[in-house]
Amino acid sequence: MSNEEEKPVEALARLKSFLEDQIDELEEKLAEYKEFIKAIDLFLVKTSLKTADQLTKPGEAVTVRELKDNAGNVLGKLEVSENRIVFTPSSNIKISVKSPSLQSFFIPKVLEKYRVEDENSVKKKSLDAKSSFNYKIEEEDSNVKRILVENYREQPRLREIERALRWTVIKAIS
């Protein structure tokens, strides 16, 4: 290789080395930022989030039942009150918050569908904003810790949420 041909090669090698160093630095920063977020999440969980017991109103009847797969294995606990559903996976069940069954099915096709329906009803003033459907998925270590649903309001919605949740959990762990 001539001297002129080596110059671009050397420049590319230096550029590659520089970019690799930059990537390493950014990955270290990213890991550090993720640790900060974990610490913040932990603090928020301890200081501001209510437990499932605190979410129910005094005197509100709560039915607790197990969500099971076809073989009878317990997938988690379902606490249902008049307007609230709290699902807590069994301790041996790990559901990734990135699970396709959760991200591509349960959230958009069930939870978001009801949220948008109610949002439209609120806009049309046929539903009070305080009574509109909402949900929250609490996570811990990138796994679902708990799913909270408020203002499901109707038994058909409850049944669909329960069926879809069961399917979602089964698919997420298989």
Full-model pTM: 0.65
In this predicted model, what pLDDT tens digit does every residue of 14-29 receive, in sequence order? 999 999 999 989 988 8
Q: Residues near 106 by Cβ (< 8 Å), separated by ≥ 6?
A: 164, 165, 168
In this predicted model, what pLDDT tens digit does every residue of 30-57 receive, in sequence order? 888 888 877 777 776 666 555 544 555 5
Residue in the structure block whose two tokens are 């690799």: 20
In this predicted model, what pLDDT tens digit does every residue of 101-124 receive, in sequence order? 999 999 999 999 999 999 999 999
Give the residue, 4 or 99, on which the prediction is more confident. 99
Instruction: Please count the other Cβ atoms lying within 10 Å of the Cβ belonging to residue 49.
Output: 15
Q: Where are the domains of the chain?
A: 1-48, 52-173
How far apart are the C-alpha atoms of 96 and 102, rounded to whole Å? Answer: 8
Residue in the structure block whose two tokens are 């932990």: 42
